[in-house]
């Protein structure tokens, strides 16, 4: 069974063999369909996403040619990449796309965490995060559609990472999380959830003053960048630490 991967550069593997998928626009067609597996994506939407505001006069013909070449590149391509009005669809089995496996493992991990099984939650969420091979669709980041798609996928990665940290906090791994959380806060200074996790990890590790410094830094960043005070959850955590 073919393995489709978008959590990193676009890749399709047939066993141990990586398939040749053609040029950027052709790979873009496949990527757009992989973002919506088993759904019909209209010809108009594909053209708009591939060429933006300046499609060539022969965009529909070019799209048909890309689809034809993809069918030849994929074993069993005619039964996988199908024409269904008003466009095209990829007919795939559950879990054939790495994004599907990621989402399922994240759901399983969060369900386990909600049920109080932090060990299983941490394991499932680590398994999900290990599917990532770098920036999603990294080889297509210059294509018109890729910016929004990449942003949404990276948001999903960060949310999954936060859930994994929640599981590790529930397991008492406070001290070992501090370095990772500091790096994440530097990368995402306005994300209050990460600040809260860092404050909690520091406090539990016996570093109360540092935890309060994190709050002060968060407040300064939020006021300067957004003109906002920290949210109620972060304020309550600060009061609990005092």
Cα 212 to Cα 199: distance, rounded to the nearest angstrom: 7
Which domains, and CATH codes, for the chain? 3-90 (1.10.10.10), 172-242 (1.25.40.10)
* pLDDT category of residue 103 using cuts at 50, 70 and 90: very high
* pLDDT category of residue 241 using cuts at 50, 70 and 90: very high
Model pLDDT, residue 144: 85
Cα 106 to Cα 100: distance, rounded to the nearest angstrom: 10
Model pLDDT, residue 199: 98
Q: How crowded is residue 206: how many other Cβ atoms within 10 Å of its Cβ?
A: 10
Q: What is the mean pLDDT of residues 84-101?
A: 97
Strand partners of residue 82: 89
Cα 7 to Cα 211: distance, rounded to the nearest angstrom: 34
Tokens representing 186 are: 């530097």
Cα 14 to Cα 95: distance, rounded to the nearest angstrom: 15
Model pLDDT, residue 148: 87
What's the chain's average pLDDT? 97
Q: What is the pLDDT of residues 32-80, one digit of tens each?
A: 999 999 999 999 999 999 999 899 999 999 999 999 999 999 999 999 9
Q: How crowded is residue 59: how many other Cβ atoms within 10 Å of its Cβ?
A: 18
Q: What is the pLDDT of residues 121-174, one digit of tens each?
A: 999 999 999 999 999 999 999 998 988 899 999 999 999 999 999 999 999 999
């Amino acid at each position: 069974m073919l393995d489709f991967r978008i959590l990193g550069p676009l890749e399709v593997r047939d066993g141990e063999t990586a398939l040749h998928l053609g040029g950027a626009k052709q790979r873009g067609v496949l990527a757009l369909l992989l973002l919506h597996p088993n759904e019909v994506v209209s010809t108009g939407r594909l053209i708009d996403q591939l060429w933006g505001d300046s499609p060539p006069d022969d965009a529909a013909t070019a799209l048909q040619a890309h689809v034809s070449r993809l069918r030849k590149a994929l074993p069993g391509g005619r039964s996988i990449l199908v024409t269904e009005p008003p466009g095209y669809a990829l007919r795939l089995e559950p879990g054939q796309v790495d994004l599907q496996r990621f989402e399922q493992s994240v759901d399983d991990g969060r369900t386990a965490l909600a049920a109080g099984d932090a060990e299983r939650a941490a394991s499932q969420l680590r398994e999900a995060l290990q599917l990532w091979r770098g920036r999603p669709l990294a080889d297509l980041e210059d294509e018109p559609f890729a910016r929004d798609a990449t942003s949404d996928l990276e948001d999903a990665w960060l949310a999954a990472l936060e859930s994994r940290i929640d599981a590790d906090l529930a397991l008492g791994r406070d001290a070992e999380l501090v370095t990772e959380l500091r790096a994440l806060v530097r990368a995402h200074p306005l994300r209050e959830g990460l600040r809260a996790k860092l404050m909690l990890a520091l406090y539990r590790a016996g570093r109360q003053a540092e935890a309060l410094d994190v709050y002060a830094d968060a407040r300064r960043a939020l006021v300067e960048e957004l003109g906002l005070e920290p949210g109620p959850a972060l304020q309550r955590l600060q009061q609990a630490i005092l």
